[in-house]
Chains A and B, each alone.
Chain A
């Protein structure tokens, strides 16, 4: 079980690993150098996606 948790953490980190912190920006997203910016809720994602006229990309891991 512990191995699995470590694997999950490593896999997601590989996808989104932060390398540091800069300034928090509006609306709520935190830019991480060398990483993908993430919306922090579906509401925030919907608002941005509708204004920009773009789709939402969802990435997940089920930790089960």
Chain B
């Protein structure tokens, strides 16, 4: 199946998982991003523990107990309601299963390349936030709010709102502490102005800082 271009193309219309209830077939070492990683010798895209957990979930959540051959079935996007497994469908059978599953979907779907491109950017934003590089995270998220796919743009907006709320909390705290610790408050506001631009919290911080400086004169 892996050599079938149509099957690989069809696979992009759904999300694929593989489960194998066996941990004894051994692992292999592969290079990922220039780093050695231990992966499953049968499915090197994952570890044996990962494919075992995937299979374990399937068998605990309604997958028919079938044995002996490769079986494929469809689950909904909540990983529930498994359909009846089909044995060894081959490339053509796989494409047919995918197309039938997609026909049952209401509304628009997002293609994998579009999702992946978006997910990579969202990951980068998350990493930037973890490294306290708020400005970089905001830049990435702001670009994604202009994503051509409305749903993906909306999810980026949601994340951007959360960042703005984080900045707003800092502004509120700085305002609250101004009487007791003016220097800290000013420094915090300056940080928000610098790091959270162009978000609303940055504009609010500018107004409050100006007010504090005017009071100090």
Contact = CB atoms under 8 A, between A and B. Distances in A.
A60 B55 CA distance: 7
A51 B109 CA distance: 9
5 contacts: A15-B2, A30-B46, A40-B50, A56-B14, A56-B79
B11 A27 contact: no
A46 B109 contact: no
Interface size bracket, B side: 35 or more
Interface string A1-32: 00001001101111111110101111101101
B76 A13 contact: no
Contact of A12 (B20, B124, B152): B20
B166 interface: no
Contacts of B155: 51
B184 interface: no
A49 B11 CA distance: 13
A29 B20 CA distance: 17
A4 to B, nearest CB: 9
B15 A39 contact: yes
B42 A52 contact: no
Given A14-B2, A23-B33, A56 B22 contact: no
Nearest to B127: A26
B1 A55 contact: no
B54 interface: yes
B44 interface: yes
Interface string A24-61: 11110110101111111110011011111111111111
Given A16-B2, A39-B15, A62-B68, 9 more contacts: A18-B44, A36-B11, A40-B45, A41-B53, A42-B79, A45-B79, A55-B102, A56-B77, A58-B58
A57 B8 contact: no
Nearest to B23: A63
Contact of B122 (A21, A26, A59): A26
Nearest to B107: A53
A5 to B, nearest CB: 6
Contact of B45 (A18, A49, A64): A18
A23 to B, nearest CB: 6
B112 interface: yes
